Amino acid sequence: MTDATELRRRTQELLASHPPATTGRLDFLRARFDAGLAWVHYPEGLGGLGAPRSLQAVVDAELEAAGAPDNDPRRIGIGLGMAAPTILGFGTDEQKRRFLRPLWTGEEVWCQLFSEPGAGSDLAALGTRAVRQGDRWVVNGQKVWTSSAHLARWAILIARTDPDVPKHRGITYFVCDMTDPGVEVRPLRQITGEAEFNEVFLTDVRIPDARRLGEIGDGWRVAQTTLMNERVSIGGMRLPREGGMIGPVARTWRERPELRTHDHHQRLLTLWVEAEVARLTGERLRQQLVVGQPGPEGSGMKLTFARLNQEISGLEVELLGEEGLSYDDWTMRRPELVDFTGRDAGYRYLRSKGNSIEGGTSEVLLNIVAERVLGLPAEPRTDKDVAWKDLAR
Amino acid sequence: MSPESPESPESPDGPVDTRPDLLYTEEEDALRAAVRDLLDDHCDAAGVIVRTESDAPHDLELWKALSSDMGLAGLLVPEARGGQGATHREAAVVLEELGRAVAPVPYLTSAVVATEALLACGGVEDLLAELASGRTIGALAVALNTAPGGPYKVVRQENGTLHGELTAIADAAVADVLLVPADDGGLYAVDASAATVIPRVSLDLTRPLAKVVLHGAQGRRLGDAEPAVRRALRAGAGLLASEQLGLAEWALTETVRYLKERRQFNRPVGGFQALKHRLAQLWLELVSLRAAARNAADALATGSDDTDVAVAVAQAYAAPVAVHAAEEALQLHGGIGMTWEHPVHLYLKRAKADAIAYGTAGGHRAALAELVDLPAP
């Protein structure tokens, strides 16, 4: 059993053989992966030691104290958070060996080719086709809302391989090479002026069958692993009071008495209370997780934060009066990192509109709460037992 | 009984990072189960409805079982002073269950508010122990709608006797002793038999109000009224949030249950998205209210520097949620929800009265404006 002491010893060993001061960043990260200290809960040989996930903090603390470089997790979030667990869960040994190391070190960036113009909330209705030709699949279709597509070396892709069965059953999961000549990436400019996301057009993209993840037709189940990991990453952080979107507007209120009105005061106090209660709700959820009693409360946090972010930033724009009529910059840019609270109030207002759409719309999340938490019946379905090709489009 | 909660004190400039314990301990879960068992057996909705129109709207047998038999009236009183030596965290759990059953017992008014007033006074050991035992019911003679720190009416003190009228005193009809603030700044204990208590037709049938009239009643001076009343009302407001959580939980649970059963258009109406979203929304509000209510109870229990904020946040949030839950329950029950026979009206009336009790949400927001430095224009 690998315990904290053992992990500390191995970390010190790594630091001794690869002193951060004299080792190149990438060399250090590769050595860390090979020492099993990248993600300690992964298996040996794949960057881990099969240790409890909670012990990662021990390694991270030692490395941080020694000034070691990290793998810039915010830049490679889709690889770390979504692709890696799926490859670990469903990949072949060859796939795990090939993909996980450069994914973790950040040498290869990953993106996600899931959503389509015709398949958003109803993702399982997706229409991108993959047709088998010998030991390859030929893929045609269009994906959308793909962050990092212009930087990515690889993509996780779900495509329809059998249109003759109901929609959930005819999907297969692949790893797509983003350098294939049939892959065209176009920035998708959004209401903030910038382009965080892309549209991806797939024309006769050839994917070897060896890059399939999981069984043919089992892609929906494989995708659940990916999507579950997307939701886990939301909301485990401790926030101080006024730590979120309410912080900037509260500061503005204190520093700019000339902007204050009675109407804004009432709305600010109401939102301040809601933000504080949301913070406490997140804190309670975190405490439940720490003692190993995860409740269903997590499914609600994203709903609450989406609404609050929108209302608070909306109030801030109004409170600013004349300044609220300006916007910092409409120039089309492609930011590498997204910062919801970055830039000015107008940006925060516009960007937060996406919070109730991305990662599951608020409407779909309310259905999930109603059905999975409250146990209310699902709406009658007309699409469950119908072949995908016969669905109305 | 409560674990130590590390509390980082407010720094003058840095962010406030409180670390309350927002969970329920195993002991608190066991306490909840015991109270719920008792209420399941002795406090059914039909019985409560009948009782509201009888001569005895309060259920004193249930009160005896809760207070004398289970010892719950003395949770906030140290063992050395005749109580159970527990904290506001446990009292909050009891109030959640009493709210869920909309139980007509003077727990909040006697075991919390009147008890806190006595705890603020010195040399009242006899009275404190009596209230803790539950054999004596106390009522603070301050109108139920008074916010912590808000103004309240006092009576005239003349040569040791008290004169005047105090209105909107909750549970006064069953009180044995009234704690009365007087114009000399003192808080006086008055035997209820020395006062005229006139029940008033109340919006909330399960926590009825009364007018207290004193014509030269003898009073025993307990101490200064101002700190005692402030402390009592703050605890009352903070723990009221747990009662409101219980009310809202009943409303949601019962409505979900009904909508799974009730069929119209050849399907359970709970399958219609328009209704599901409303219930999911309500669930979100409840999850949040639980965190806010636990935070207030924990702050009161640990004597946190943040207690004033925690209580004001809980009350600013709780009242609209409890009322929303009861109103949704009524609407989503359809016609049956509008009948006297169905208990949802008891919850609506309690929730609406609770929204006024110990200060309105708006009053607590105004208090927060001062507390967290978001001043009015």
- Please answer whether residues A88 and A100 qualify as being in contact, where contact means their C-beta atoms are separated by less than 8 angstroms: yes
Same domain, B211 and B317: no
Tokens representing residue A30 in the block: 């590769």
How many Cα atoms sit within 13 Å of B129 on the Cβ side?
A: 8
Task: Decide if pLDDT at B6 tops 80.
Answer: no
Task: Decide if pLDDT at B124 tops 50.
Answer: yes
Task: Decide if pLDDT at A239 tops 90.
Answer: no
Question: Exposed, middle or buried: residue B95 (CB in 10 Å: 0-12, 13-18, 19+)?
Answer: buried
* Residues near A228 by beta carbon (within 8 Å), at least 6 away in sequence: none
Same domain, B353 and B262: yes
Domain that holds residue B207: 156-224
- Please answer whether residues B226 and B185 qualify as being in contact, where contact means their C-beta atoms are separated by less than 8 angstroms: yes
Of A241, A366, A380, the CB nearest to B16: A241
Q: What is the pLDDT of residue A231?
A: 52
Q: What does chain A come to in residues?
A: 393
Q: DSSP state, A82?
A: I
Task: Report chain A residues whose CB lies below 8 A from the CB of B23.
Answer: 284, 287-288, 291, 293
> Which of A62, A199, A230, A316 is the catalytic position?
A230
Q: How far apart (Å, rounded) are the C-alpha atoms in residues A207 and A213?
A: 12
Q: How far apart (Å, rounded) are the C-alpha atoms in residues A115 and B156?
A: 74
Q: Which residue has the tokens 């797939």?
A: A202
Residue B150 lies in a domain: no
Task: Decide if pLDDT at A273 tops 90.
Answer: yes
Neighbours of A372 (CB within 10 A): 11
Q: Which amino acid is at A264?
A: H
Nearest to B271 by CA among A377, A365, A366: A377
Task: Report chain A residues whose CB lies below 8 A from the CB of B279.
Answer: 370, 374, 376
Same domain, B208 and B190: yes
Q: Which helix (H) or strand (E) holds B297?
A: helix B273-302
Lowest mean pLDDT among A97-101, A221-225, B143-147: A221-225
CA A313 to centroid of chain Cα atoms? 23
Q: CB of B18 within 8 Å of any CB in chain A?
A: yes
pLDDT band at A230 (very low <50, low <70, confident <90, very high): low
Q: What is the pLDDT of residue A291?
A: 78
Of A277, A284, A373, the CB nearest to B313: A277
Neighbours of A363 (CB within 10 A): 14
Q: Which amino acid is at B258?
A: Y
Q: CB of A367 within 8 Å of any CB in chain B?
A: yes
Task: Decide if pLDDT at A175 tops 90.
Answer: yes
Residue B341 lies in a domain: yes
Tokens representing residue B66 in the block: 């809760």
Q: How far apart (Å, rounded) are the C-alpha atoms in residues B104 and B58?
A: 5
B138, β-bridge pairs: B177
Residue B145 lies in a domain: no
The mean per-residue pLDDT over the stretch B54-83 comes to 96
Question: Domain limits of chain A?
Answer: 1-70, 72-219, 234-359
CB contact under 8 A, A273 and B369: no
Q: What is the pLDDT of residue A225?
A: 79
Please state at what angle helix B26-42 crosses helix B88-100, rounded to 10 degrees. Answer: 30
Distance from CA of A63 to the nearest CA of B (A): 27
Q: CB of B295 within 8 Å of any CB in chain A?
A: yes
Same domain, B329 and B200: no
Same domain, B95 and B188: no
Distance from CA of A377 to the nearest CA of B (A): 5
- Please answer whether residues B112 and B260 qualify as being in contact, where contact means their C-beta atoms are separated by less than 8 angstroms: no
pLDDT higher at B9 or B288:
B288
CB contact under 8 A, B270 and A377: yes
In tens, the pLDDT along A290-317 reads 777 767 777 788 899 999 999 999 999 9
Residue B116 lies in a domain: yes
Of A273, A288, A371, the CB nearest to B317: A273
Task: Report chain B residues whose CB lies below 8 A from the CB of A367.
Answer: 273, 276-277, 280
Task: Decide if pLDDT at B182 tops 90.
Answer: yes
Tell me chain A's radius of gyration from C-alpha atoms: 23
Q: Mean pLDDT for chain B? A: 95
- Percent of chain A at pLDDT > 70 equals 96
Task: Decide if pLDDT at B49 tops 50.
Answer: yes
B177, β-bridge pairs: B138, B191
- Domains: count for chain B: 3
CB contact under 8 A, A243 and B15: yes
Tell me chain B's radius of gyration from C-alpha atoms: 21
Q: What is the pLDDT of residue B3?
A: 37
Cα–Cα–Cα angle for A335, A340, A341, rounded to 5 degrees: 115
Distance from CA of B328 to the nearest CA of A (A): 15
CA B183 to centroid of chain Cα atoms? 27
Same domain, B235 and B332: yes
Q: How far apart (Å, rounded) are the C-alpha atoms in residues A265 and B362?
A: 11
Q: What is the pLDDT of residue A361?
A: 93
Q: CB of B16 within 8 Å of any CB in chain A?
A: yes
Task: Decide if pLDDT at B11 tops 60.
Answer: no
φ and ψ of B58, to 5 deg: -85, 145
pLDDT band at B7 (very low <50, low <70, confident <90, very high): very low
Q: Where a domain ends, among B136, B170, B200? A: B136
Tokens representing residue B198 in the block: 């006139």
- Please answer whether residues A271 and A311 qualify as being in contact, where contact means their C-beta atoms are separated by less than 8 angstroms: yes
Q: What is the pLDDT of residue B5?
A: 38
3-state secondary structure of B179: strand
- Cα dihedral sign, A365-A367-A372-A375: positive
Residue B3 lies in a domain: no
Tokens representing residue B129 in the block: 């122990």
The mean per-residue pLDDT over the stretch A134-161 comes to 96
Q: What is the pLDDT of residue A117?
A: 96
Q: CB of A243 within 8 Å of any CB in chain B?
A: yes
Q: Which residue has the tokens 């009782």?
A: B51
Residue B19 lies in a domain: no
Residue B365's CATH number: 1.20.140.10
Alpha carbon separation from B3 to A134, B21, B27, B87, B136 (Å, rounded): 66, 8, 11, 11, 31
B296, β-bridge pairs: none
Alpha carbon separation from B326 to A22, B58, B346 (Å, rounded): 66, 22, 9
Residue B20 lies in a domain: no
Task: Decide if pLDDT at A237 tops 90.
Answer: no
In tens, the pLDDT along B202-253 reads 999 999 999 999 999 999 999 999 999 999 999 999 999 999 999 999 999 9
* Shortest CA distance from A293: residue in chain B: B23
Q: CB of B26 within 8 Å of any CB in chain A?
A: no
Question: Exposed, middle or buried: residue B148 (CB in 10 Å: 0-12, 13-18, 19+)?
Answer: buried
Nearest to B331 by CA among B279, B290, B264, B263: B279
Of A265, A291, A293, the CB nearest to B376: A265
Residue B60's CATH number: 1.10.540.10
Residue B331 lies in a domain: yes
Same domain, B102 and B169: no
Annotation marks residue A230 as catalytic = yes
Q: How far apart (Å, rounded) are the C-alpha atoms in residues A392 and B190?
A: 78
Of A266, A283, A297, the CB nearest to B287: A297
Nearest to B187 by CA among B227, B214, B239: B227
- Please answer whether residues B313 and A273 qualify as being in contact, where contact means their C-beta atoms are separated by less than 8 angstroms: yes
Question: Exposed, middle or buried: residue A181 (CB in 10 Å: 0-12, 13-18, 19+)?
Answer: exposed
Q: Virtual CA dihedral for A91, A96, A99, A100, nearest 10 degrees?
A: 120
Q: Where a domain ends, among B224, B246, B268? A: B224
The mean per-residue pLDDT over the stretch B353-368 comes to 98
Percentages (nearest 5) of helix, strand, coil residues in chain B: 55, 15, 30
CATH topology of domain A72-219: Butyryl-CoA Dehydrogenase, subunit A; domain 2 (2.40.110)
Q: How far apart (Å, rounded) are the C-alpha atoms in residues A126 and A157?
A: 11
The mean per-residue pLDDT over the stretch A157-174 comes to 97
- Please answer whether residues A282 and B284 qualify as being in contact, where contact means their C-beta atoms are separated by less than 8 angstroms: no
- Percent of chain B at pLDDT > 90 equals 94
